[in-house]
């Protein structure tokens, strides 16, 4: 049973349309993607399109129209096709789409080239995904051009705007039902991380831990993994986008796991770092505790009104001081921050918006370029990390090869914030305890 229903999509469309004076909006589904030769990647819908109608088929469009007199939404879908049903499964088709979607009209996608000319007639503004270029949008431009020389047409498209900016501003604030979907994704991701901690041992391969987690995701109904899992033993954790996951896990090393699933297309994004054998060395614990302290202090500072840029700056100050405390950097924190010396060991940002996309492409600044302040309903990851390469001779030997990131998903509430992934163990004691009880 899906969490979302037509009421949510309809109200999102109404909100989008209410922000325009007039115009035509065209939203396109994601194309199916070939993996190799005649095999395809599992289909993943375009998040902006899905947000506005919840439809999961390719070759479909959502068109919305607003004039002074009329406001309407139309879907264009593939008709039912026996051959497609046999090989790839049944399409919803026009008639069933009329029953399912609370839109004003449903048309066959093959009628789009003719109908779009009628739809654009006498409109001056067209809203599309300006940075995507599917044939549907090309067709709309062609139709708008055709209307320029059509007798009796009085008004013509004068401007094409990016609609994604409007939709993504809307996506920034999550409704209760979206938070429920994110929580569901996190619930399974929590299970998977705990499972990885419970089965980890030296001599296993990184991909074995990945497979244990995938099993938890898929066997519990997750719609997909939210991104390519990172399972990085030892020094591999110092490659930020390590997705090879083919190395052996060694005694005495840490393993960094950045892996999470989607629920009804809503992402989670979680990182935990723990000792392969369940017991931190002194040096690992020192660095781990510093990263954890930074993470806890950053989360503590999150509340409505706090600017995202300020949080970034604050996290850099904390990380820089942590690096000084560990003896990895030396000097004045202020001077080190100015020269960006801390970036060598803490190179990435403190976090990102999360929602229908793991890196939700919602704005970080307002139209004047000023950093946005947190508002109730925003969801951001908080993921500080310290990374010390094995070959870095500037750092004490005991720290070399240690890479640690701790990542949670944080919801801004009316008073402060809620760590939605707080149930995933992360203190040194909790990790050692859960791992002590594992079956070897
Ligand atoms: N998993 C990607 C990230 O943490 O941003
Ligand atoms: Mn992240
Ligand atoms: Mn992550």
222: domain CATH number is 3.90.230.10
Q: What is the pLDDT of residues 291-310, one digit of tens each?
A: 999 999 999 999 999 999 99
Active site residue 156: no
State mean pLDDT over 317-340. Answer: 98
State mean pLDDT over 342-352. Answer: 98
Q: What is the Å distance from ligand 3's center to 390 Cα?
A: 22
Q: In which region does residue 77 sit, left (phi positive, over 0), alpha (psi from -120 to 50) or beta (all else)?
A: beta
Nearest ligand 1 atom to the CA of 259 is: 1
Q: Which two tokens stand for residue 305?
A: 């009104």
Active site residue 391: no
**pLDDT band at 438; cut points 50, 70, 90:** confident
Q: What is the Å distance from ligand 2's center to 310 Cα?
A: 18
Q: What is the pLDDT of residues 149-168, one digit of tens each?
A: 999 999 999 999 999 999 99
Q: How far is the CA of 325 from the CAs of 32, 312, 332, 383, in angstroms?
A: 51, 20, 11, 20
Test site for ligand 1: of 242, 260, 269, 354, most ligand atoms within 8 A of the Cβ: 269
- Total domains, the chain: 2
- pLDDT value of residue 439: 62
- Residue 392 and residue 252 share a domain: yes
Q: What is the pLDDT of residues 136-151, one digit of tens each?
A: 999 999 999 999 999 9
Q: What is the pLDDT of residues 361-380, one digit of tens each?
A: 999 999 999 999 999 999 99
Q: Taking the CB of residue 438, how many other CB atoms lie within 10 A of it?
A: 13
Q: What is the pLDDT of residues 217-264, one digit of tens each?
A: 999 999 999 999 999 999 999 999 999 999 999 999 999 999 999 999
CATH number at residue 110: 3.40.350.10
Domain annotation covers residue 1: no
Test site for ligand 1: of 227, 354, 361, most ligand atoms within 8 A of the Cβ: 227
- Residue 138 and residue 76 share a domain: yes
Q: What is the Å distance from ligand 1's center to 258 Cα?
A: 7
Active site residue 110: no
DSSP 307: B
Mean pLDDT score of the chain? 96
Do residues 124 and 158 lie in contact, with contact meaning Cβ atoms separated by under 8 Å?
yes
Domain annotation covers residue 32: yes
Nearest ligand 1 atom to the CA of 359 is: 5
Q: What is the pLDDT of residues 49-80, one digit of tens each?
A: 999 999 999 999 999 999 999 999 999 999 98
Active site residue 269: yes
Q: What is the Å distance from ligand 1's center to 164 Cα?
A: 22
- Please state, in angstroms and rounded to a whole number, the distance separating the CA atoms of residues 244 and 259: 13
Domain span at residue 22? 6-171
Domain annotation covers residue 211: yes
Active site residue 38: yes
Q: Taking the CB of residue 73, how many other CB atoms lie within 10 A of it?
A: 24
State mean pLDDT over 196-200. Answer: 97
- pLDDT value of residue 232: 98
Q: What is the Å distance from ligand 2's center to 404 Cα?
A: 14
Q: Is the pLDDT of residue 437 over 90?
A: no
**pLDDT band at 3; cut points 50, 70, 90:** confident
- Please state, in angstroms and rounded to a whole number, the distance separating the CA atoms of residues 430 and 294: 18
Q: What is the Å distance from ligand 2's center to 182 Cα?
A: 14
- pLDDT value of residue 204: 98
- Residue 302 and residue 235 share a domain: yes
Active site residue 387: yes
**pLDDT band at 440; cut points 50, 70, 90:** low
Boundary residue ending a domain (109, 144, 171): 171
- Rounded to 5°, the CA angle 192-196-202 comes to 170
Domain annotation covers residue 371: yes
- Nearest residue CA, atom 2 of ligand 1? 269
Q: What is the pLDDT of residues 378-397, one digit of tens each?
A: 999 999 999 999 999 999 99
- Nearest residue CA, atom 5 of ligand 1? 359
Domain annotation covers residue 309: yes
State mean pLDDT over 166-187. Answer: 98
Q: Which two tokens stand for residue 173?
A: 């604030």
Q: Is the pLDDT of residue 428 over 70?
A: yes
- Please state, in angstroms and rounded to a whole number, the distance separating the CA atoms of residues 268 and 184: 9
- Rounded to 5°, the CA angle 265-268-273 comes to 150
Active site residue 407: yes
Pocket around ligand 1: residues whose beta carbon is below 6 Å from it? 227, 258, 269, 352, 358, 383, 407
Active site residue 84: no
Looking at 180, 359, 364, 392, which residue is catalytic?
Answer: 359
Boundary residue ending a domain (116, 147, 171): 171
- Residue 136 and residue 17 share a domain: yes
Boundary residue ending a domain (171, 201, 231): 171
- pLDDT value of residue 2: 82
């Amino acid at each position: 049973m899906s969490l979302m229903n037509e009421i949510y999509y309809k109200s999102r469309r109404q909100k989008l349309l209410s922000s325009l004076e007039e115009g035509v909006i065209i939203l396109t589904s994601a194309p199916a993607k070939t993996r190799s030769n005649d095999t395809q990647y599992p289909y993943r819908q375009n998040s902006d399109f899905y947000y506005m109608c919840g439809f999961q088929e390719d070759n479909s469009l959502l068109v919305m129209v607003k004039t002074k007199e009329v406001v309407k939404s139309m879907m264009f879908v593939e008709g039912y096709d026996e051959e497609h049903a046999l090989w790839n499964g049944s399409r919803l088709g026009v008639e069933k789409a009329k029953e399912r979607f609370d839109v004003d009209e449903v048309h066959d996608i093959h009628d789009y080239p003719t109908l779009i000319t009628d739809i654009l007639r006498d409109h001056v503004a067209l809203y599309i995904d300006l940075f995507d270029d599917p044939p549907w949008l090309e067709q709309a431009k062609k139709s708008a051009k055709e209307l320029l020389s059509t007798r009796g047409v009085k008004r013509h498209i004068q401007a094409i705007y990016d609609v994604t900016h409007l939709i993504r501003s809307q996506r920034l604030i999550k409704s209760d039902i979206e938070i429920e979907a994110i929580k569901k994704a996190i619930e399974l991701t929590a299970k998977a991380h705990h499972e990885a901690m419970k089965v980890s041992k030296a001599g296993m391969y990184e991909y074995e831990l990945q497979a244990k987690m995938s099993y938890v995701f898929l066997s519990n109904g997750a719609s997909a993994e939210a991104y390519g899992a990172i399972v990085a033993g030892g020094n591999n954790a110092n490659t930020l986008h390590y997705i090879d996951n083919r190395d052996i896990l060694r005694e005495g090393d840490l393993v960094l796991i950045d892996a999470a699933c989607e629920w009804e297309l809503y992402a989670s994004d979680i990182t935990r770092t723990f000792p392969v054998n369940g017991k931190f060395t002194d040096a690992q614990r020192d660095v781990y505790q510093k990263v954890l302290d930074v993470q806890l202090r950053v989360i503590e500072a999150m509340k409505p009104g706090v600017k995202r840029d300020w949080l970034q700056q604050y996290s850099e100050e904390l990380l820089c001081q942590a690096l000084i405390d560990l003896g990895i950097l030396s000097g004045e924190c202020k001077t080190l921050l100015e020269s960006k010396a801390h970036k060598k060991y803490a190179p990435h940002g403190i976090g990102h918006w999360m929602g229908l996309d793991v890196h939700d492409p919602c704005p970080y600044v307002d139209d004047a370029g000023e950093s946005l302040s947190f508002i109730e309903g925003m969801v951001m990851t908080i993921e500080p990390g310290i990374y010390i390469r094995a070959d870095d001779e500037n750092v004490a030997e005991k720290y070399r090869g240690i890479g640690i990131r701790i990542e949670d998903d944080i919801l801004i509430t009316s008073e402060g914030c809620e760590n939605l992934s707080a149930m995933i163990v992360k203190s040194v004691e909790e990790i050692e305890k859960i791992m002590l009880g594992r079956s070897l």
